[in-house]
Amino acid sequence: MLSPQEAVTTTTRDADLLDRAKTAQREAESFLKESEQQSTTTTISVGDTELKSRATSEADSAIRSSDSSWSLTNEDLTPTMALIVSETKASHQKWLGSCDRLLTTLRVAGNGLESEIQTLDRGFRNQLDRDRTAKLEREDQVFAATPAYTRNRQEFNAAQNRFELLRGYNNGQYARAISPIFYWPLIFAVGAGDTFINYPIFQSIFEVPIALLMTGFVAIVVAGASHVHGVYLKQHSLTFLLGDEGKKSASRVALIATFALLIVFGFVAWVRFSFFSRGGTLPDWFMVSRVAPSLFFNIVVWFIGCVLSYFLHERVPDLRETQSRVKVLDNAFKKLSAPVKARKLDIDREATEKNTANNQRIAECGRGLLRLNELITKIETEKINRTRQLSANVEVALRKYASIFCKRIADNPDATSFGLKSPKRGDISLNDFETGGFGINL
What share of the chain in percent tops pLDDT 70? 88
8 A C-beta contact, residue 415 and residue 65: no
Q: Work out the pLDDT band at 287, boundaries 50, 70, 90.
A: very low
Lowest mean pLDDT among 166-170, 281-285, 354-358, 418-422: 281-285
Phi-psi region of 73 (alpha: psi -120 to 50; beta: other; left: phi over 0): beta
Going by DSSP bridges, is the β-strand pair 426-428/419-422 parallel, antiparallel, or unpaired?
antiparallel
Per-residue model confidence (pLDDT) at position 8: 46
Kindly report the pTM of this predicted structure: 0.58
Q: What is the pLDDT of residues 355-373, one digit of tens each?
A: 999 899 999 999 999 999 9
Domain range list for the chain: 7-144+366-435, 177-313
Q: How far apart are CA 294 and CA 205, in angstroms?
A: 15
Handedness of CA 24, 30, 36, 39 (dihedral sign): negative
For residue 421, which phi and psi values (nearest 5 degrees)? Answer: -110, 120
Q: Work out the pLDDT band at 280, boundaries 50, 70, 90.
A: low
Q: Is 36 exposed, middle or buried (0-12, 13-18, 19+ CB in 10 A)?
A: exposed
Over range 206-235, report the average pLDDT: 90
Going by DSSP bridges, is the β-strand pair 419-422/69-71 parallel, antiparallel, or unpaired?
parallel
Select the more confidently predicted residue: 47 or 112: 112
- Vertex 331 angle, CA 328 and 336, to 5°: 120
In the sheet where 69-71 sits, what is the strand order? Answer: 69-71, 419-422, 426-428
Q: Is 334 exposed, middle or buried (0-12, 13-18, 19+ CB in 10 A)?
A: exposed
- Vertex 281 angle, CA 276 and 287, to 5°: 115
Q: How far apart are CA 317 and CA 166, in angstroms?
A: 8
8 A C-beta contact, residue 315 and residue 176: no
Select the more confidently predicted residue: 218 or 287: 218
What is the average pLDDT score of the chain?
A: 84
Q: Work out the pLDDT band at 140, boundaries 50, 70, 90.
A: very high
Q: How far apart are CA 194 and CA 270, in angstroms?
A: 16
Per-residue model confidence (pLDDT) at position 416: 66
Q: What's the number of CA atoms in the CB half-sphere (13 Å) around residue 107?
A: 9
For residue 74, which phi and psi values (nearest 5 degrees)? Answer: -60, -25
Handedness of CA 395, 396, 397, 399 (dihedral sign): positive
Select the more confidently predicted residue: 369 or 240: 369
Q: What is the pLDDT of residues 317-330, one digit of tens each?
A: 888 889 899 999 99
For residue 71, which phi and psi values (nearest 5 degrees)? Answer: -80, 135
For helices 17-37 and 319-410, angle between their N-to-C axes, nearest 10 degrees:
30
Select the more confidently predicted residue: 380 or 431: 380
